[in-house]
Amino acid sequence: MEQKRSVWLLKISMKKEELAMEKTMVNGLDQTPDAAEWFEKYKGITKQIDEQLLRGLKESGKGLTLGQLQLVVEHRNPFDVPVLRIFTDRLIVKTGKLLSRCFHKPIVVELLPSWFTEDNLKKAAKFNLKPIFLPGEELSRDLKNWMMPPAHFYEWIMRKKIAKDSAILKRGWYLADFSIGVDYADGMQVFPNDPLAPIIERLRQGRKVGKYGQTPMGSRFAIKPQSEWPLVIAELVDNELKIQPYKEKRLERYIEFLAIGNVYDKNRGKFNMWEWFADDFEGSGRLCGGGRGGGGLAGIRSDWADGRNVHIVGRPLVSF
């Protein structure tokens, strides 16, 4: 005998008098939608809404999404943003599966930051910035198929030469730089088709960022990590992309560089250049690494915190 099921039937009425809802809380803000105006604009979609609700009752996953139901409550057309919903849902699911596979355990990915619209991410992609998610994991154990930090990295933590949380990833969404590196060529090397080049050249022309004589004006080499890279990153994030809101804009930490290389960007550690990191070393130093001949992706050493070096580059990172 077929088992009976109790189903909550959601009935949405589009009568003008019933749309005069009281003030509702939407995304944490008090809003009073103009129900009459909404009714006049969207009264033609009532049949479409009813049909999709019925489909959802008959077959799981075929009805209105929670996001679409929220739009109905907000007196907005629930069919206005299907592409955005599909885009965000796919990105979250895809990222969660990738991280769970790489970390060999279930990883829950948070909802996207408000700035992560499809249009904004297309703008970021022009600068080789792509969305990634990092879990709040401590990389203190061997992970299968990973390049892990060398032993002296953990010794530095124990001896307090670097911060005690240097091996811990900060959970959240980021925009990371996926620019392809380059091999050292007597200080004349530049990243291929580097979208940062015009920004760097402009800052050098304004004497805000220096260089050596042979350094190309748009090269991201020979830029001081402590005093000059923050200017380059600020110009990119605040003036070019106008990202708001965000938590931090900075160079990558070593542990972030390592995780991104293991999970997302397989081009890292393939070149003989080195990369500056955000990690301080004993106050006056700064971590750098990633050179092919010095350990590859996991390679790490320290250098002067504000040195100008023709074989070390940087990558902007934005956290949300």
Reported as a single tens digit per residue, the pLDDT across 111-136 is 999 999 989 999 999 999 999 999 99
Q: Hey, which bits of the chain come out as E strands?
A: 24-26, 29-31, 129-134, 172-177, 248-251, 274-281, 285-289, 300-304, 312-313, 316-319
SS3 225: coil
**Of the candidates 141, 145, 144, which has an alpha carbon nearest to the alpha carbon of residue 154?**
141
Contacts of 161 (CB under 8 A, 6+ apart): 281, 282
CA distance 112 to 115: 8
Secondary structure (DSSP) of 2-43: PPP---PPP-----GGGG-PPPEEETTEEE---HHHHHHHHG
Q: Look at residue 44 in the predicted model and tell me its pLDDT.
A: 61
CA distance 224 to 314: 9
Contacts of 225 (CB under 8 A, 6+ apart): 251, 276, 286, 288, 305, 306, 307, 312, 314
Q: Look at residue 298 in the predicted model and tell me its pLDDT.
A: 97
Q: Residue 274 forms beta bridges with which residues?
A: 312
Buried/exposed 95-105: b ≥16 CB within 10 Å, e otherwise: bbebbeebbee
Q: Which two tokens stand for residue 63?
A: 């009805």
Contacts of 117 (CB under 8 A, 6+ apart): 84
CA distance 132 to 113: 11
Q: Which two tokens stand for residue 173?
A: 């969404």
Low-confidence ranges of the chain (pLDDT < 50): 1-33
Pairing between β-strand 274-281 and β-strand 312-313 as defined by DSSP bridges: parallel
Q: Look at residue 141 in the predicted model and tell me its pLDDT.
A: 77
SS3 134: strand
- Omega cis (within 30) before 33: no
Q: What is the pTM of this model?
A: 0.74
**Of the candidates 136, 133, 138, which has an alpha carbon nearest to the alpha carbon of residue 109?**
133
CA distance 231 to 240: 12
Q: Look at residue 277 in the predicted model and tell me its pLDDT.
A: 99
Q: What CA dihedral angle connects 94, 95, 96 and 102, to 10 degrees?
A: 110
Q: Look at residue 21 in the predicted model and tell me its pLDDT.
A: 36
Contacts of 241 (CB under 8 A, 6+ apart): 120, 123, 124, 127, 129
Q: Look at residue 66 in the predicted model and tell me its pLDDT.
A: 58
User: Which amino acid does the sequence have at 73?
Assistant: V
> For residue 138, what is the DSSP state?
B
Q: Look at residue 223 in the predicted model and tell me its pLDDT.
A: 98
In which residue are the tokens 């350990």 written?
295
